[in-house]
Amino acid sequence: MHSPLPLALVQAPAHPTQDLDSFASGLERLSRQRPQVRLFVHPELHLATPAPGSGPADDAAAPEQLAEPLDGPRDRRLAELAGDLGVWLMPGSVYERRHGQIHNTAPVYSPQGRRVAAYRKICPWRPYETTTPGTEFVVFDMDDHGRVGLSICYDAWFPEISRNLAHLGAQLIVNLVQTPTSDREQELVLARANAITNQVFVASVNAAAPTGLGRSLLVDPEGRVRTQAISAEECVLTDVIDLGETTRVRTYGTAGLNRPWEQFRPGDAPVDLPLYSGRMDPSTWGAGLSGTSRAEGRGRP
């Protein structure tokens, strides 16, 4: 049995760069106002975005200026904050310096004050984003609530990423977003599509104005929107979900009909995936045909 998961999707503008004191104060206030919430989720680069109006040059320099090792002072402060409040915390993604490269990385902290997962964005929005792509799919278990998978913004446009997270057992996919552009309309469709085709919950948490266009939403495993922000204004979406719903939907079908996870039967002929040579491999995928790097498919950082 899964226990209900009360969660809060915090649609807010990017926080003043690395101002952990005011971020902590804001989260403490939210926790007092919503004492039943177990998981707080913030948008992409929530603590790693220059102040609006600081200029494009500062935006371009942000990854280099704001990156630090995953286990640096920022990590210790966020872990301590989650432990002090006794909540699960997704503070949004951050710039991580690792092996001489910079990643857009989403850490997760437990109520025990430990970092339990960290996902590096596989699909930066090229050519505008210059971070190094990650190569691993990441899921983590939330006690008796269920299993959660992580993705960041443009990852949602690649159905293989959501499918692999579902294959690894994710019942909820959290997509952290910072979209200020006109394609937010398409992202709303993708959130529902990824939920429907994988029969999972999907939370798409975008930044509020002026950093993003908002319109965050939570979708259930049958593709129904449970809650949604209708504008770019700052707000907090709350809901209580049962991740065990994924089992019900997969057993009885979406709308009582479709069961894609039970499509294939023993004895069916195998189906090759020539695009990936059987796996996601950038050396055989689109613009990466001449590349040499490889995504190994499954695993955790």
Look up the CATH number of the domain holding residue 214. 3.60.110.10
Note down the domain range covering 165: 5-265+273-288
Is residue 186 included in any domain, yes or no?
Answer: yes
pTM, rounded to two decimals? 0.90
- % the chain with pLDDT above 90: 77
Is residue 44 included in any domain, yes or no?
Answer: yes
Write the pLDDT tens digit of every residue in 264-282: 888 888 888 898 888 656 6
Question: Which residues share a beta bridge with 142?
Answer: 146
Is residue 294 included in any domain, yes or no?
Answer: no
- pLDDT given at position 262: 87
pLDDT at 285 over 60: no
Hey, what are 130's tokens?
């210059």
CA–CA separation, 206 and 63 (whole Å): 20
- pLDDT given at position 251: 94
* pLDDT band (50, 70, 90) for residue 290: very low
Higher pLDDT, 292 or 91: 91
Compute CA distances 208 → 43, 156, 164, 199, 218, whole Å. 9, 19, 29, 28, 16
Write the pLDDT tens digit of every residue in 28-80: 999 999 999 999 999 999 999 876 555 444 566 788 888 999 999 999 999 99
Give the number of residues written for the chain: 301
Is residue 293 included in any domain, yes or no?
Answer: no
Is residue 298 included in any domain, yes or no?
Answer: no
Is residue 300 included in any domain, yes or no?
Answer: no
What is the domain count for the chain?
A: 1
Write the pLDDT tens digit of every residue in 187-237: 999 999 999 999 999 999 999 999 999 999 999 999 999 999 999 999 999
Instruction: Kindly write down the DSSP assignment for every residue of the chain, as one continuous string.
Output: -PPPEEEEEEE-PPPSTT-HHHHHHHHHHHHHH-TT--EEE--TTTTS-PPTTS-HHHHHHHHHHH-B-TTSHHHHHHHHHHHHHT-EEE---EEEEETTEEEEEEEEE-TTS-EEEEEE-SS--TTT--SPPP----EEEETTTEEEEEEEGGGGG-HHHHHHHHHTT-SEEEEE----STTHHHHHHHHHHHHHHHT-EEEEEPPPTTT-----EEE-TTS-EEEE--SSS-EEEEEEE-TTHHHHHHHH-BTTTB-GGG---TTPPP---TTTTTS--GGGSGGGTT-------S---
pLDDT averaged over the chain? Answer: 90
CA dihedral 270, 296, 129, 101 (to 10 degrees): -170
Write the pLDDT tens digit of every residue in 118-164: 999 999 999 999 999 999 999 999 999 999 999 999 999 999 999 99
Write the pLDDT tens digit of every residue in 95-118: 999 999 999 999 999 999 999 999
- pLDDT given at position 60: 66
